[in-house]
Amino acid sequence: MDKLMETFEKNDPVALGRVLKEVESQSEKGYEILKRTNKEKGKAHVIGITGPPGAGKSTLTSKLCKQLVNKGFTIGIICVDPTSPFTGGALLGDRIRMQELAKLPNVFIKSLATRGSLGGMAHSTADIVQLMDSFGKDIIIIETVGVGQVEFDVLEISDSVVLIGVPGLGDAIQTVKAGIMEIADIYVVNQADRPGADESVKDLKLMIKESERKDWKPSVLKTIATEQEGISELIDELERHKTHLITTKAWEKKRKERNYNRFVGRLDEIVHESVEGQFKTNPKTQSIIEQVKEGTMNPFSAANKIAEYIIKS
Ligand SMILES: Nc1nc2c(ncn2[C@@H]2O[C@H](COP(=O)(O)OP(=O)(O)OP(=O)(O)O)[C@@H](O)[C@H]2O)c(=O)[nH]1
Ligand SMILES: [Mg+2]
Instruction: From 226, 227, 231, give the residue whose CB has the most ligand 1 atoms within 8 Å, as the site to mutate.
Output: 226
Q: Give the binding-site residues of ligand 1, using a 6 Å CB cut-off.
A: 51, 53-59, 90, 93-94, 97, 145, 190-191, 193-194, 224-226
Evaluate whether 79 touches 190 at the Cβ level (below 8 Å).
no
Q: What is the mean pLDDT of residues 4-19?
A: 92
Provide the whole-model pTM.
Answer: 0.87
| Residue 169: C-alpha distances to residues 192, 280, 297 (Å) | 12, 49, 51
What's the pLDDT at 153?
79
Give me the chain's average pLDDT, please. 84
What is the distance in A from the centroid of ligand 2 to the CA of 299? 43
Q: Which residues, by Cβ under 5 Å, contact ligand 2, an ion?
A: 57-58, 94
| Residue 250: C-alpha distances to residues 15, 132, 147, 236, 258 (Å) | 32, 21, 23, 19, 12
Tell me the CATH architecture of domain 40-248: 3-Layer(aba) Sandwich (3.40)
d(CA 222, CA 236): 13
What's the pLDDT at 85?
46
Residue 239 has pLDDT above 90, yes or no: yes
Least confident of 34-38, 102-106, 174-178, 276-280: 174-178
Intra-chain end-to-end CA distance of the chain, in Å: 36
Least confident of 74-88, 97-111, 274-288: 74-88
What is the distance in A from the centroid of ligand 1 to the CA of 56? 3
Evaluate whether 22 touches 30 at the Cβ level (below 8 Å).
yes
Angle between helices 283-294 and 299-312 (to 10 degrees): 170
Q: What is the DSSP string of 92-142?
A: HHHHHHHHHHHTSTTEEEEEEE-SS-STHHHHHHHHHHHHHHHHT-SEEEE
> Pick from 187, 16, 194, 23: which is nearest to 107 by CA?
16
Residue 175 has pLDDT above 70, yes or no: no
Instruction: From 59, 109, 145, 191, give the residue whose CB has the most ligand 1 atoms within 8 Å, as the site to mutate.
Output: 59
User: CATH 3.40.50.300 in the chain, residues?
Assistant: 40-248
Q: What is the mean pLDDT of residues 155-177?
A: 77
Better-scored residue on pLDDT, 6 or 269: 6
Q: What is the mean pLDDT of residues 167-180?
A: 61
Among the atoms of ligand 1, which is closest to the Cα of residue 224?
A: 31
Give the DSSP letter of residue 229.
B
Angle at 157 between CA 156 and CA 160, to 5 degrees: 80
Angle between helices 170-183 and 197-210 (to 10 degrees): 40
pLDDT band for position 89 (cuts 50, 70, 90): very low
Better-scored residue on pLDDT, 67 or 23: 67
